[in-house]
Amino acid sequence: MKFRAKIVDGACLNHFTRISNMIAKLAKTCTLRISPDKLNFILCDKLANGGVSMWCELEQENFFSEFQMEGLSAENNEIYLELTSENLSRALKTAHNARALKIKLTNKHFPCLTVSVELFSMSSSSRIATHDIPIKVIPRKLWKDLQEPMVPDPDVSIYLPVLKTMKSVVEKMKNISSHLIIEANLDGELNLKIETELVRVTTHFKDLGNPPLASESTSQDRNPGHMAEVHIDIRKLLQFLAGQQVNPTKALCNIVTNKMVHFDLLHEDVSLQYFIPALS
Amino acid sequence: MKCLVTGGNVKVLGKAVHSLSRIGDELYLEPLEDGLSLRTVNSSRSAYACFLFAPLFFQQYQAAIPGQDLLRCKILMKSFLSVFRSLAMLEKTVEKCCISLNGQSSRLVVQLYCKFGVRKTHNLSFQDCESLQAVCDPASCPHMLRAPARVLGEAVLPFPPTLAEVTLGIGRGHRVILRSYHEEEADSTVKAMVTEVCLGEEDFQQLQAQEGAAITFCLKEFRGLLSFAESANLNLSIHFDAPGRPAIFTIKDSLLDGHFVLATLSETDSYSQDLGSLERQRPVPQLQAHSTPHPDDFTNDDIDSYMIAMETTIGNEGSRVLPSISLSPGPQPPQSPGLRSEEEDDAEPSTVPGTPPPKKVGAEGEGEGGGGGGVGKGAASRTHLFLPVPLAVLRLHPGPRRLPAGPQPCAG
């Protein structure tokens, strides 16, 4: 298995750094999948993650000026690695204003992803910072658990409000209850509700807009004002919102009543899907 | 003793105290003829720090009332630091700071004269103490490098703030390498990220060191001096010797002198600070070639090939090491300087994986005649391999066992 890639463009480097910061906030440990055209950051819905799953995808040619990989075998031309996300974001932090960034798969004293940053320096010789991020290679038999999750037909699909606003609302609500209800309808209305014995708090977002639905029949049957709701753990939503430092280019929320909420975001050219299951 | 600090120097003094607080819990304050010295040592005696403020630093400086002996005292670092806790406040509101020590009263009085006529008086209790002195002679260290503190500050930026130890070494082409050092844990399933920074010779104002020389020291303690030096925009010099011998970090200015002496890990086995050691479990230092890296343009893959050269040149701490964790200074046999030969390497005993290498600071003083760079041959480190707890031993002149011949400024 081989992997070597290089980023020389400053904007691409910053974007990649932002993505890795986001991943570090969303998942402590995640899987990095390397394939000839794409890179994926994956979190599968294991018990340890509380049923939350994440699928982040980026096209490698939008970032890397050089990209070479050789997967496990010719038929399985992919590499699955498990790493601590914070290590990657810390390594990339030093790449701010770097001349070049190189990533490669190495086996120094343990398998690692070596991130090498060439910094600008006053003198003629370059200053180089190298980070060896320990990784675990995921065996072929576990790959089936790490595939792109199926997105079920949502009951309601709605565009999200400004995430920063949502985050500050949810942060305050967290102090009152750990159980949050998200509901939305096809009229562009989204509500966040918490209920306790003493108090009920609802925040209403209006005029958000709905993306066109896949099947027309659903839109005819459903009363557009009808709310589809799901009960989730507020901390999981907060973790998701905390990871969004920059407002995404596109942000969509799909609700499957009493099953799950699915967030579909696009940060420029990087797509992020985040699934939060309903509380049982 | 009475001294008065005014203007921007108050903040400098405050910063120095912050710097010292990173090292030890007690501050030794000693007014000398050549200035006020503030010193501290850490609890395991593996780090010593000293700031000497020249009389010119003060608007008024009186080391002692004529006719009286020079007083010296030891105060709780926490108490002294609390006076200078907020550097921003010092800068904005404090106009003068007066420190006085009176033999009669049992208090060290620190007065801050602030704006708007506010005067804050701190009465700190102190203990009498002996002179704290680390005999450290930078001139006796064969390797040294000097760079603006800013360069070193930028170099340590990639390292995580929680990193305890770092290895500093000279690589091929006289490049200076800093690498994070993690003690090998026998059953660790989660490995730590290894970070390495490589600087060119041109970044340094002076670099006088052999290729392959390397030491491992506590980064956290070093950061204390580094942040002070960066804020004062000074150059920082690092004088070092073989692994196990203390490393001396100095800054100098017309008004003050800073000296930090830190213990370095001694090389008792191959998983020490040797920049080339990758196979940590092997008892014998690597002399065989590592697998050739893929040909590529990663500049620091160069490290792989010169590591072999380095292993044969790193000195061994040798029999200078004290026989146990005790703090008692013992007589040191004179060392015959000489390069360690390769056959000696093979005679190294196998190490117990998982035993952290005891951190030792080699003896200073007797038997060396100032030629502290002597590299001993293999042996005595063996006695330490099976001791469970590494304890650095920085031998100082704490008083009763050795009479200080009056205050001796640290040489160099």
Query: Which residue of chain B has the CA closest to A124?
Result: B202
B288: confidence class by pLDDT, cuts 50, 70, 90: very low
Give the domain-ending residue among A100, A119, A145.
A145
B295 burial level (CB within 10 Å; 0-12, 13-18, 19+): exposed
Q: CA–CA separation, B351 vs B387, rounded Å?
A: 12
pLDDT at B315: 35
Query: How would you class B388 by CB atoms within 10 Å of its CB: exposed for 0-12, middle for 13-18, buried for 19 or more?
Result: exposed
Element (H, E) at A234: helix A234-242
Secondary structure (3-state) at B252:
strand
d(CA B129, CA B154): 39
Q: Are residues A39 and A108 in the same domain?
A: yes
pTM over cut 0.95 = no
Q: Which CATH class is domain B143-265?
A: alpha beta
> B2-133 and B143-265 share one CATH topology?
yes
Query: How is residue A246 written in tokens?
Result: 């920059």
Same domain, A162 and A136: no
- Supply the pLDDT for residue A123: 65
- 8 Å CB contact of B202 and A130: no
For residue A51, the domain's CATH number is 3.70.10.10
The verdict on a CB contact (< 8 Å) between A127 and B299 is no
Give the residue from chain A lying closest to B304, CA to CA.
Answer: A108
- Based on the number of CB atoms within 10 Å of its own CB, is A133 exposed (0-12), middle (13-18) or buried (19 or more)? buried
The sign of the dihedral angle between the CA atoms of A149, A154, A160, A164 is negative
For A4-54, the pLDDT digits (tens) are 999 999 999 999 999 999 999 999 999 999 999 999 999 987 777 778 999
Q: CB-based contacts of A220: which residues, under 8 Å, 6+ apart?
A: none
At A251 the pLDDT is: 94
Query: What's the average model confidence in pLDDT over A140-166?
Result: 90
DSSP bridge partners of B252: B257
Taking CB atoms and an 8 Å cutoff, what residues of chain B touch A126?
Answer: 200, 299
Give the other-Cβ count within 10 Å of A204's Cβ: 9
Domain boundary among A86, A116, A145: A145
- Cα–Cα distance between A41 and A21 in angstroms, integer? 12
Rounded Cα distance, A176 and A72, in Å: 49
Whether pLDDT at B370 is above 60? no
Mean pLDDT (chain B) is: 71
Q: How far is CA A48 from CA A136, A241, A272, in A?
A: 18, 20, 20
Region B377-395 average pLDDT: 32
How many angstroms separate the CA atoms of A44 and A54, rounded?
7
Separation of alpha carbons A122 and B154, rounded Å:
12
Cα distance between residue B299 and residue A100, in whole Å? 12
Per the document, the length of chain A is: 280
Q: Give the Cα separation of B298 and A128 in Å (integer).
A: 10
Q: State whether residue B137 sits within 8 Å of chain A by CB.
A: no
Q: Do A91 and B299 touch (CB under 8 A)?
A: no
Do residue A242 and residue A136 come from a single domain?
Answer: no
Q: Does B200 touch chain A (CB under 8 A)?
A: yes
Residue A89's identity, in one-letter code, is S
* Separation in Å, CA of A29 to nearest CA in chain B: 11
Domain count, chain A: 2
CATH number of B2-133: 3.70.10.10
- Tens of pLDDT, residues B15-59: 999 999 999 999 999 988 889 999 999 999 899 999 999 999 999
Whether residue B291 is predicted with pLDDT greater than 80 in this model: the reply is no
User: Is the pLDDT higher at A268 or at B285?
Assistant: A268
Chain B neighbors of A127, CB-CB under 8 A: 154-155, 197-200, 203
R_g of chain B computed on alpha carbons: 23
> Which pLDDT score, from 0 to 100, does residue A216 have?
54
- List the structure tokens of B103: 């033999």
Cβ-Cβ contacts under 8 Å for B379 (sequence gap 6 or more): B318, B319
* DSSP-assigned beta bridge partners for residue A251: A265
- Average pLDDT for residues B355-379, to the nearest whole number? 37
Domain closes at, from A98, A120, A145: A145
Residue B279 phi, psi (nearest 5): -95, 90
Which residues of A lie closer than 8 Å to B, measured between beta carbons? 2, 4, 84, 87, 90-91, 93-94, 102, 104, 108-110, 112, 114, 116-118, 121-134
3-state secondary structure (DSSP) of residue A23:
helix
Task: For residues A112 and A165, state if they share a domain.
Answer: no
Which positions ≥6 away from A139 have C-beta within 8 Å?
none
Domain of residue A251, residue span: 156-277
Q: Domain for residue A151, yes or no? A: no
Residue B296 confidence (pLDDT) above 50 = no
CA distance B49 to B66: 29
Is residue B52 within 8 Å of B109, Cβ to Cβ? no
Contacts of B202 in chain A (CB under 8 A): 123-125
The secondary element (H helix, E strand) that includes residue B219 is helix B219-231
Dihedral sign (CA B24, B27, B28, B31) = positive
What was the ipTM of the complex prediction?
0.83
Eight-state DSSP code of residue B21: H
Instruction: Count Cβ atoms below 10 Å from residue B70 Cβ, excluding itself.
Output: 15
pLDDT for position A87: 93
Q: What is the pLDDT of residue B332?
A: 36
Cβ of B195 within 8 Å of Cβ of A134? The answer is no
Question: pLDDT for B242-267, tens place per residue?
Answer: 998 899 999 999 999 999 999 999 87
Interface test with B, best of A2, A3, A130, A131 (most B CBs within 10 A): A130
From A104, A110, A126, residue closest to B191, measured CB to CB:
A110
Task: Give yes or no: residues A133 and A169 share one domain.
Answer: no
User: What is the reported pLDDT for A120?
Assistant: 76
Within a domain: A150? no
pLDDT, tens digit, for every residue of B100-144?
Answer: 987 777 889 999 999 999 999 999 998 888 887 777 788 889 999
Per-residue pLDDT tens for A179-202?
Answer: 999 999 999 999 999 999 999 999
Amino acid at B203: D
| Whole-number pLDDT of residue B37 | 93
Among candidates B192, B294, B300 on the partner chain, residue whose Cβ is nearest the Cβ of A128: B300
A270 CB contacts (<8 Å, ≥6 apart)? A15, A19, A56, A57, A58
Measure CA of the first residue to CA of the last residue in chain B; give whole Å: 26
Which element (helix H / strand E) includes B155? helix B149-156
- The residues, any chain, with a CB within 8 Å of residue A77's CB and separated by 6 or more, are A35, A36, A69, A70, A71
Higher pLDDT residue, A18 or B399? A18
**A32 and A123 both lie in a single domain:** yes
Q: In this structure, how many other beta carbons lie within 10 angstroms of the beta carbon of residue A253?
A: 22
**Amino acid letter, residue B90:** L
Q: Are the Cβ atoms of B193 and A134 closer than 8 angstroms?
A: yes
Instruction: Indicate whether A32 and A95 sit together in one domain.
Output: yes
Residue by residue, what is the 3-state secondary structure of B109-147?
EEEEEEHHHCEEEEEEECEECCCCCECCCHHHCCEEEEE
More confident residue, B339 or A252: A252
- Same domain, yes or no, for A164 and A211? yes
Spell out a b/e string for B225-263, using b for 16 or more CB atoms within 10 Å of the CB, else e.
bbbbbbbbebbbbbbbbbbbbbbbbbbebebbbbbbbbb
Closest Cβ opposite residue B200 in set A4, A90, A127? A127
- Could you tell me if A100 and A192 lie in one domain? no
Q: Considering only CA atoms, which of A124, A141, A24 is closest in space to residue A76? A: A141
| pLDDT value, residue A215 | 57
A227 and A207 housed in the same domain: yes
Q: Could you tell me which of A158, A136, A260 has the C-alpha nearest to residue A207?
A: A158
Dist. CA A78–CA A76, nearest whole Å: 6
Spell out the domain ranges in chain B. 2-133, 143-265
Comparing C-alpha atoms, which of B237, B213, B214 is closest to residue B226? B237
Distance from CA of B198 to the nearest CA of A (A): 5
Q: A130 and A6 share a domain? A: yes
Q: Which helix (H) or strand (E) holds A104?
A: strand A98-107
